[in-house]
Chain A
Amino acid sequence: MTRNGATGLLVAVGFLLACGGPGPAGSATGGPRRIVTLAPNLTEIVFALGAGDRLVGVSEYSDHPDAARAIPRVGGLEVDPEKVAALRPDLVLAIAEGNAQGTVRALEAAGLPVTVTPSGSLDSVLESIRIVAGRLGRPEEGQRLVAGLERRRAAVHARVAGRRRPRALLMVWPDPPQAAGGHTFLNDILTEAGADNLVGDRQGWPVLSKEYVATAPVELLVTPDSVEARSAWEAAFSAGSLSRGPISLARRVRLDEAALTRPGPRVFDMLEKLAEATQ
């Protein structure tokens, strides 16, 4: 191809991009109409706010509710910015912890409106719902949803108040053993459900030594349950890091992995289930 030919092609593409197709507008009817979510919890929040039909792209693991499964995928932890841009979204929702900063910046640089939601606590789950509701132009739905979740949360607090708090670990992976530490929403779930997190003074997601796991005075062990990880957990219980010491005798509570580990509305279901188990 000659240089002139190449230039001509670029101009033509630019023209098509500028004029072609229905533009990313549509705000006249109140809020964005073409939404892309970069994490499954954001997909769940959008559906919970009754705006699932406005999603044009979702992250790889967005499988809840069932209607989310049919929406085009834009990548897992590593999002493909070009795929996102090709969907011509008028709102991109990303999470602060988990989505690569580079991806978010690339999307912003391409002129896409990106909203990043906070993570790291149960409060930030509620805050994320408020933020998303605001961006969707549905603040009242957001307030209603948050108020309902807050009521359930307060009921759990009242229920566990004054109870003896079991010493607990919430493990996210068996080998190497990794647990939820402080400043995570799972730490909030564990402690608000009436248990004491043995590694609550560690920030983030500490990978624990086998010696610690074998000797920690665990009374309650919370583990995420999923088909994919079941064999890894069973191996750890039968011969691995969870097969010896107090942890092997601790009461074990299995909670659905997707519902537990995605900071969306369903984590409040998990909070209630866990509060039952700490009794």
Chain B
Amino acid sequence: MKALGRGPALAAGALLLAAVLAAAFSVGGVHLSLFDLVRGDGEAGQTARMLAALRLPRVLLAALVGACLALAGAALQALLKNPLADPFLLGTSGGAAVGAAGAALLGASPLASPAFAFAGATAASLGVAALARRGGRLDLERLLLAGLIANAFFSALLLAAFSLASGEASRTMLFWMMGSLSDATPGKVAALSPYVLAGLVVLLGAAARLNLFAVGEESAAALGVDTERTKRVVFLAASLLTGAAVAFAGVIGFVGLLVPHGVRAVAGNDQRALLPLSALAGAALLVAADAVSRAALAPAELPIGAITAALGAPLFAWLLLRTP
């Protein structure tokens, strides 16, 4: 930690998220009067409650998806000691989207699509890991390259599926490719929560070992860390988080890349602080981006992926130029 201790930093992060959640809840294409919501009766109160019932699950889903993507990105960056690591670059999101899109194309129930997204994410992770394995160990450079290839392949598959699908199905394909939070329901929020919690717990459990990775794999092994097992656990946790996010919101880019960078710049590289702070900041970022997406073009919506890309790409280019 630089300026703050871990406790105060986490408290500050939680406060920031709470503020962003409250602001996002009151922002939108349609004005939501908090007074009407709490006190209103008759038509005004009814309208306010209906709006709240639409907006609250959406804001919460944005928070959970943002936390998933940022956590997965932070974990992969720590694991690979590479600031370019990201669920998108490693093909995990693409695999999840192909799984979910394929299921939709084959006419599977929408309820089953999360399962297919997890399967796709896990299969992509395992495939990429298998390509990157050399002499029983994961070679980190090969891992990034394999992810790149996998991603190109998945993009091509999605485009093929999009041109094969017709009518309603092609709209579903667009959802997977562009990402969207507009289908948020309380059920989805409830279904996604356990994955975020499980991923957070597993990754926090591995945080101390990931700190040793930063020194070097050999040193970590010499200090008694089972490096291969740690890699597997972190890799699978990241896949699970990514699959969950994609299953409920489609592919939304740059969050996993952007957030850990921002957090590291403020709070340093201690994984015990970086991981939970990334979850909080990722949630805040996506909630804010979603509020912009709802308000900017009202009554239409701006695709959320366009906002995260507009924020992420220039900042990332700047980070890259600053790096010696």
A-side residues, CB < 8 A to B, are: 78, 173, 176, 199, 202, 206-216, 228-229, 232, 244-245
Asked if B231 lies at the interface with its beta carbon under 8 angstroms from chain A, I say no
Q: Are A214 and B29 in touch, CB under 8 angstroms?
A: no
Q: Are B300 and A202 in touch, CB under 8 angstroms?
A: yes
Please, how many angstroms separate the alpha-carbon atoms of A21 and B294 in the complex?
60
Also in contact, A245 and B50, with CB within 8 A (given A176-B171, A211-B29): yes
* Beyond A212-B30, A215-B30, 19 extra complex contacts between A and B, CB < 8 Å: A202-B300, A206-B299, A206-B300, A207-B301, A209-B28, A209-B30, A209-B294, A209-B299, A210-B54, A211-B30, A211-B55, A211-B294, A212-B29, A214-B50, A214-B51, A215-B51, A216-B299, A228-B167, A245-B47
Asked if B182 lies at the interface with its beta carbon under 8 angstroms from chain A, I say yes
Chain B residue contacts of A208, Cβ below 8 A: 299-300
Which B residue's beta carbon lies closest to that of A78?
A: B163
Chain B residue contacts of A199, Cβ below 8 A: 299
Q: Render B27-52 as a binary contact track against A, CB cut-off 8 A, 1 for contact.
A: 01110000000000000000100110
Chain B residue contacts of A244, Cβ below 8 A: 50
Best-surrounded residue of A211, A229, A244 (most CB of chain B within 10 A): A211
Please, how many angstroms separate the alpha-carbon atoms of A78 and B165 in the complex?
13
Number of A-B contacts (CB under 8 A): 51
Chain A residue contacts of B300, Cβ below 8 A: 202, 206-209
Also in contact, A211 and B51, with CB within 8 A (given A176-B182, A202-B300, A206-B300): yes
Please, how many angstroms separate the alpha-carbon atoms of A214 and B46 in the complex?
11
Chain A residue contacts of B301, Cβ below 8 A: 207, 209
Best-surrounded residue of B51, B167, B299, B301 (most CB of chain A within 10 A): B299
Asked if B310 lies at the interface with its beta carbon under 8 angstroms from chain A, I say no
Chain B residue contacts of A173, Cβ below 8 A: 171
A207 to chain B, nearest CB (A): 6
Chain A residue contacts of B167, Cβ below 8 A: 228-229
Q: Are B171 and A211 in touch, CB under 8 angstroms?
A: no
Of A176, A202, A211, A216, which one neighbours B54 at CB under 8 angstroms?
A: A211
Chain B residue contacts of A214, Cβ below 8 A: 30, 50-51, 54
Q: Are A212 and B299 in touch, CB under 8 angstroms?
A: yes
Which A residue's beta carbon lies closest to that of B293?
A: A209
Q: Are B47 and A211 in touch, CB under 8 angstroms?
A: no
Chain A residue contacts of B55, Cβ below 8 A: 211
Please, how many angstroms separate the alpha-carbon atoms of A208 and B301 in the complex?
7
Q: Render B166-185 as a binary contact track against A, CB cut-off 8 A, 1 for contact.
A: 01100100000000001000
Which B residue's beta carbon lies closest to that of A211?
A: B30
Q: Render B229-241 as a binary contact track against A, CB cut-off 8 A, 1 for contact.
A: 0000000000000
Please, how many angstroms separate the alpha-carbon atoms of A213 and B33 in the complex?
17
Chain A residue contacts of B29, Cβ below 8 A: 209, 211-212
Chain A residue contacts of B30, Cβ below 8 A: 209, 211-212, 214-215
B69 to chain A, nearest CB (A): 22
B197 to chain A, nearest CB (A): 28
Chain A residue contacts of B54, Cβ below 8 A: 210-211, 214
Chain B residue contacts of A202, Cβ below 8 A: 299-300
Asked if B149 lies at the interface with its beta carbon under 8 angstroms from chain A, I say no
Please, how many angstroms separate the alpha-carbon atoms of A208 and B182 in the complex?
10
Please, how many angstroms separate the alpha-carbon atoms of A267 and B29 in the complex?
33
Chain B residue contacts of A210, Cβ below 8 A: 54, 182
B window 260-316: CB within 8 A of A: 294, 298-301
> Can you give 15 contacting A-B residue pairs, CB < 8 Å?
A173-B171, A199-B299, A208-B300, A209-B29, A209-B298, A210-B54, A211-B29, A211-B30, A211-B54, A211-B294, A212-B29, A212-B298, A214-B54, A215-B50, A216-B299
B298 to chain A, nearest CB (A): 6
Q: Are B168 and A211 in touch, CB under 8 angstroms?
A: no
A140 to chain B, nearest CB (A): 40
Please, how many angstroms separate the alpha-carbon atoms of A159 and B168 in the complex?
38
B111 to chain A, nearest CB (A): 14
4 closest cross-chain pairs (CB), A and B: A212-B299, A206-B300, A211-B30, A215-B30
Please, how many angstroms separate the alpha-carbon atoms of A108 and B51 in the complex?
52
Which B residue's beta carbon lies closest to that of A245?
A: B50
Q: Are A232 and B168 in touch, CB under 8 angstroms?
A: yes
Please, how many angstroms separate the alpha-carbon atoms of A213 and B50 in the complex?
12
Chain B residue contacts of A245, Cβ below 8 A: 47, 50
Please, how many angstroms separate the alpha-carbon atoms of A211 and B54 in the complex?
7
Which B residue's beta carbon lies closest to that of A207?
A: B300
A250 to chain B, nearest CB (A): 15
Please, how many angstroms separate the alpha-carbon atoms of A211 and B47 in the complex?
10
B168 to chain A, nearest CB (A): 6
Please, how many angstroms separate the alpha-carbon atoms of A212 and B182 in the complex?
12
Chain A residue contacts of B182, Cβ below 8 A: 176, 209-210
B289 to chain A, nearest CB (A): 15
A216 to chain B, nearest CB (A): 7
Please, how many angstroms separate the alpha-carbon atoms of A232 and B167 in the complex?
11
Chain B residue contacts of A176, Cβ below 8 A: 171, 182
A246 to chain B, nearest CB (A): 9
Chain A residue contacts of B294, Cβ below 8 A: 209, 211
